[in-house]
A and B are shown apart, each in its own frame.
Chain A
């Protein structure tokens, strides 16, 4: 479904992603694990087109020079030069890290915005209802401003927003970051629901333990370079991976 080939991303001369090859097949949940500054977020933003947007923005104002090299192929099509909104139209939707929400809009309005590109309002409403069924706690918060919700609730809103956009490939950037164990369990549970919707998921995480049992395959990157990849079992059987990303 998604093929990233020889991807390199430079911020000025700093290499954020180094010659990365990664593939996601339809229906899978694929995890990308790595420590801080490993290049996880850059990878996600690049696949979603945000890095390209930033590149043009910086170019316009003569700021930081960003270089993106390599191929990004989605469903057999080269997407490297597509704008973020074109990628959303193709079905690639990113939920950024640190639970981004529109803080002055209500929870309901946030979810509605997720369906911005869907013209059929009844479909949007259907998706919103689905989100409420995946995240029941949101039902009570419909009219509350998203900025006043807790971090966990904001994460639910952020994932919900991405779901309303009806993704084929959902990119989740550190969905568990900064959440309490209870909230983490809710998000992990939601991952199962998302899989049952036949949405393919590519997610990143620093700490692999809560998420590892639910992924099909995983990639481990350090300093922008892929150092290991394998199925869930292969990764879990590897002692180095266990010690570095499981704390065992």
Chain B
């Protein structure tokens, strides 16, 4: 049992990480908490389903199109809506949350509530790891979560654009004075957040059926992990994912599976009460944000 807890805790942590990377990235780079993350995530799931099942495109192509579309969607959300309320934290939250709910409830209204929506596994097969059977999809999730974290580091520290985004996050006026445009940077970070949400969706959704409530759950997860780990801290994000990931597996093994959901909320409450800046967070803006 310990073995399977270890393995599935890791899988769970990777799932949480994939889900929250996009949210945390957008927040870290632009300072805007994008509460439409869950909506984008679910939209990516349905879009991939539509491209793959209805249009019959190869799955790989469907995934790439999905990622590009959600990236554009993220950029559009910033350009059309968030740009108008930028700088007022509460309005940012209300605006993005409204967009997220609109997307989710639009799907409910359109009747996407049946059980036929699911995405295929990317890889079939399974292997046995320390006495636990693990399928390739879950293995792939761990791998992709790891690769995305590496990609993110390389992107922000080794490329011109990534450095510029980091610079903008650290000191807006200095970034402006060397010619980095703040709206450009924020648009870029929203696009990245959207793309990451889509990658998470196509990796994780194959594990179950696509269901509208997942959208809300995703937002809750992203929020819990970022609050727990500390905003703008990648190490904190990873730590937060591991803690929450294992805590969930622990509670669902020793108590009951439905306690899993309570773990997120408990984590948010405890962290906000004890250390509002998060475990490894550098900033204390959290009270204002959440």
Residues of chain A touching chain B, judged by Cβ–Cβ distance below 8 Å, are 48-50, 53, 57, 60-61, 63, 83-85, 88-89, 93-96, 100-105, 109, 112-114, 116-117, 158, 161-162, 165
Residues of A within 8 A of B170 (CB): 102-105
- A113 and B84 within 8 A (CB): no
On whether the beta carbons of A96 and B87 are closer than 8 Å, the reply is: no
* 5 pairs of A and B residues whose beta carbons are closest in the complex: A88-B179, A100-B174, A117-B179, A84-B176, A85-B179
CB neighbours (8 Å) of B178 from chain A are 88, 93, 113-114, 116-117, 161-162, 165
Output the least CB separation between A168 and chain B (Å): 13
- Interface residue B223 (Cβ < 8 Å from any Cβ of A): no
Which of A102, A114, A162 has its CB near the most chain B CB atoms (within 10 A)?
A: A102
B86 CB contacts on chain A under 8 angstroms: 57, 60-61
Min C-beta distance of B288 to chain A, whole Å:
15
Contact of B163 among A49, A93, A94, A109 (CB under 8 A): A109
Q: Does B243 contact A (CB under 8 A)?
A: no
Name B's A-contacting residues (CB within 8 A). Answer: 83-88, 91, 157, 160, 163-164, 166-167, 170-171, 173-182, 184
Measured CB to CB, the closest approach of chain A to B188, in angstroms, equals: 13
Q: Return 19 A-B CB contacts under 8 Å, by A number.
A: A57-B86, A57-B87, A60-B83, A60-B85, A61-B88, A84-B181, A88-B178, A100-B177, A102-B167, A102-B171, A103-B171, A109-B157, A112-B160, A113-B167, A113-B180, A114-B178, A116-B160, A116-B180, A161-B174
- Contacting pair B167 A105 (CB below 8 A): yes
**Given A60-B84, A96-B173, A105-B166, does the pair A89, B182 have CB atoms closer than 8 Å?**
no
Distance in Å: Cβ of B176 to nearest Cβ of chain A: 4
**Residue of B with least CB distance to A54:** B173
- Least CB distance, A73 to chain B, in whole angstroms: 20
Given A60-B87, A88-B179, output 6 extra A-B contacts at Cβ < 8 Å.
A60-B83, A84-B177, A84-B181, A94-B177, A104-B170, A162-B178
Contact B176 A100 (CB under 8 A): no
Asked whether B164 lies within 8 Å of A113 as measured between CB atoms, the reply is: yes
Given the known inter-chain contacts A60-B87, A61-B87, please indicate yes or no for A95 contacting B177, CB distance below 8 A: yes
- Shortest B170–chain A CB gap in Å is 5
How far, in whole Å, are A53 and B174 apart by their CA atoms in the complex?
Answer: 13
A164 to B: closest C-beta gap in Å: 8
In the bound complex, CA of A44 to CA of B87 (Å): 24
- Count A-B contacts at CB 8 Å: 89
User: Is B177 a contact partner of A88 (Cβ separation < 8 A)?
Assistant: yes
When distances are taken between beta carbons in the complex, the residues of chain A under 8 Å from B85 are 60-61
* Residues of B with C-beta under 8 A to A50: 173, 176-177
Known pairs A61-B85, A61-B87, A84-B177; A53 contacts B182 (CB<8 A): yes
Q: Within the complex, what minimum Cβ distance (angstroms) separates B281 from chain A? A: 13
A85 B176 Cβ-Cβ under 8 A: yes
Collect the chain B residues with CB atoms within 8 Å of residue A48's CB. Answer: 177
Is B163's CB under 8 angstroms from A112's CB? yes
Inter-chain CA distance A49–B166, complex, in Å, is 21
Q: Which residues of A contact B175 (CB under 8 A)?
A: 102, 113
Q: A53 CA to B83 CA in the complex, in Å?
A: 13
**Which residues of the other chain, A, contact B166 by a CB distance below 8 angstroms?**
102, 104-105
**Cβ of A165: which chain B residues have Cβ within 8 Å of it?**
178-179
Distance in angstroms between the alpha carbons of A119 and B65 in the assembled complex: 29
Check A100 against B171 for contact (C-beta < 8 Å): yes
Which of A83, A85, A95 gathers the greatest number of chain B CB atoms within 10 Å? A85
Name the one of B88, B173, B177 contacting A93, with C-beta atoms under 8 angstroms. Answer: B177
Contacts of B177 in A (CB 8 A): 48, 50, 84, 88, 93-96, 100, 162
Residue of A nearest to B174 (CB): A100
* Nearest CB of A to B169, in Å: 9
> Across the interface, which residues of A come within 8 angstroms of B173, CB to CB?
50, 96, 100
**Docked complex Cα distance between A166 and B3 (Å):** 59
Find the B residue at minimum CB distance from A173. Answer: B177
Question: Across the interface, do A85 and B181 meet the contact criterion of CB distance under 8 Å?
Answer: yes
Q: How far is the CB of A173 from chain B (nearest CB, A)?
A: 10
Give chain A residues whose Cβ lies under 8 Å from the Cβ of B88: 61
A114–B164 Cα distance when bound, in Å, is: 9
Tell me the nearest residue of chain A to B157, going by C-beta: A109
